[in-house]
A and B are shown apart, each in its own frame.
Chain A
């Protein structure tokens, strides 16, 4: 069976969880009797050998250069040597046209498309070939934008999800959002939780990059960490308000915020206004060693998201030795038992639970030990079984 997989990013060229989820899913699927052709909108070397990666290029373009993260503009080098910068919406349209061209020359049985940027392309493929399309929803517009979001994006999601043969949601939380906001029948939506491959976690080395925090921990300080984009859906202002209460009770508590985003300056200012500027450290965006070390230096990882379709970071934190606190409004809270859970709006309870962990190392260690047992049982294998079965079901229907 041949799968045309439409995606937007893959590691190491990813800006967040979407690329990692696509990578792990495809890796697990590749162990089955499946041929995967993965289309990304840019040309780059991914060092991936378990599937075929194709750069979707619109006609007349000789090169597409990504500037960094998924939502930035791309630079298109045209064949006559001139350059053009395109915004995200124009890129999605170019991607659609390039995929339409590609499907004319390619044989495949089913289309599996990841998130709105690829949905129009999936519709074009279905139009041309009449094949089943499965839309994999890692997030919807309201998750990303906090509110209704961009109406054009909402419309693409709405149209595509109605036209799709099947929808995969990364959590029950996301399934309910899709049902509520797009009126898709629940029976059409399959929940396939994201997961993690413990064996793929890059190991830590002996020296942690956060020397200052190590020194402070030796003096009795405890460290709370958040890693992620500093954007409205992540709920960080609530965490800062909770930390004010925590620090009032446990002054030797530090909060490390790793990431960048449109709320960066707002959060800096808020921390100062709350009088906890001395206890909150900002590192800006980090990858590699400094990113891994941030998980490792933590006594507690907090993901205070307002709406998190899945949320991989808590699982990574557990892998790097740190227990977690997540919100009920996250997909990961559906698959992880041994963690602390609060509602994103319940600042008092969030503070209560953080304070409990930073003032009780035994609680911290037990919470992590149990979470780690769960973590070690996790893999993408189960997800790949379920998705392979979905493919088969739809091919039977199609024939």
Chain B
């Protein structure tokens, strides 16, 4: 029986809101245009990440694809990062296109704006998934077959929707309370569905690479490709190892100095030494394996924090009230038919804005702070609300009652 590594990398950059005060509201509508030297400059961050992560990683991935006919991977790339690549790093965008041109890189479906729209507006959600599909078709010439919701947000309803929408697979976190005695290293079927299959992230193995790789206090440090491949080889029953992580793990979260690129370069060679070992994209692993069980997940799970729920985005009142306020504008915004206004409203839906407002562990200066361009969650909230007020102003200018 063959065993496959299912490597799936998530590529995303939001449009961060600049330092936007109440004195900007009703005056300037350039929420996302920070000065180049500012912390919140999207252009500066995009260029930095392209240089540190996208370009060097894609160069190595392309090399691996050329050197190993069995090497395959899957990517999800949000619409907001694709736009930014088009504007500020066409060479990085080209390097993603070159990967896809090998025919062994599969693009995964998601919302264009990396939003939590599924939980607030089904119509808006479907619009964004469709926008993303069309963008992927345009840039990569393929139509996504497998769906992932933003932040791997998942519950029975998401699976039911994806099944009805015709996707063959959906991704979720392989969280222990859900899996129970089961292993994430198989294909599952979401309950209440017939056709769609569920792939659950092996978070232990994924986080060994994504979070622990460069940690010199970790008992397994340094992690080498042959050690890691050895762990996978030892699992006698697994059919697929779902290694799901942020793309920026390579070169950004784990810096080049940690040896992460060397690990990536050697992993396929080490793994493929055994003839029963292979790599598969998310569609292939679904096509090649029958589900071993059905999984019932009535509550929403995500891939974030130890809680694995939505609390990183919606856990405090600043977050829950501001996102609700934003979606309350939906009908009025859409009705204007003003593309610039609608697009700004959609960019504000990106989940990162709410993540920056998270106060969990704020005092510990932890991972949330690492990902935020703002000094405090409160600053993030104030910027967001002032942009929200400006949206309201723009609506009022069109004669909408606000």
Contacts and interface: CB of A to CB of B under 8 A. Distances in A.
B22 A281 contact: yes
**Interface magnitude class on chain B:** 20 to 34
Contacts of B388: 278
Contacts of A215: 26, 393, 396
Nearest to A268: B378
B401 to A, nearest CB: 8
A211 B376 CA distance: 26
Nearest to B328: A278
B390 A272 contact: no
A264 B378 contact: yes
A269 B316 contact: yes
B329 to A, nearest CB: 10
- The interface centre, meaning the residue of B317, B382, B396 with most chain A CB atoms within 10 A of its CB, is B317
B325 A268 contact: no
A219 interface: yes
User: Chain B: interface secondary structure?
Assistant: helix
Interface of A: 209-216, 219, 256, 264-265, 268-269, 272-273, 275, 277-278, 281-284, 290
Contacts of B22: 210, 212-213, 256, 281-283
Contact of B25 (A211, A265, A273, A277): A211
Interface in B373-387: 376, 378, 381-382, 385-386
Interface of B: 21-23, 25-27, 316-318, 320-322, 325, 359, 376, 378, 381-382, 385-386, 388-390, 393, 396, 401-402
A264 B379 CA distance: 11
The 3 closest A-B pairs by CB, nearest first: A272-B317, A212-B25, A212-B26
User: Chain A: interface secondary structure?
Assistant: helix
A277 B23 contact: no
Contacts of B401: 219
B396 to A, nearest CB: 6
A209 B318 contact: no
B316 A212 contact: no
Contacts of B21: 283-284
- The interface centre, meaning the residue of B22, B318, B381, B388 with most chain A CB atoms within 10 A of its CB, is B22
Given A219-B402, A277-B325, A212 B389 contact: yes
Nearest to A278: B325
Contacts of B26: 211-212, 214-215
B396 A277 contact: no
Contacts of B381: 268, 272
A275 B396 CA distance: 22
B321 A277 contact: yes
B159 to A, nearest CB: 32
A272 B321 contact: yes
Contacts of B376: 265
A345 to B, nearest CB: 24
Contacts of A256: 22
27 contacts: A210-B22, A211-B23, A212-B25, A212-B26, A212-B389, A212-B390, A214-B26, A215-B26, A216-B396, A219-B396, A219-B401, A256-B22, A265-B376, A265-B378, A268-B382, A269-B318, A272-B316, A273-B317, A275-B317, A275-B321, A277-B322, A278-B325, A278-B388, A281-B22, A281-B385, A282-B382, A283-B21
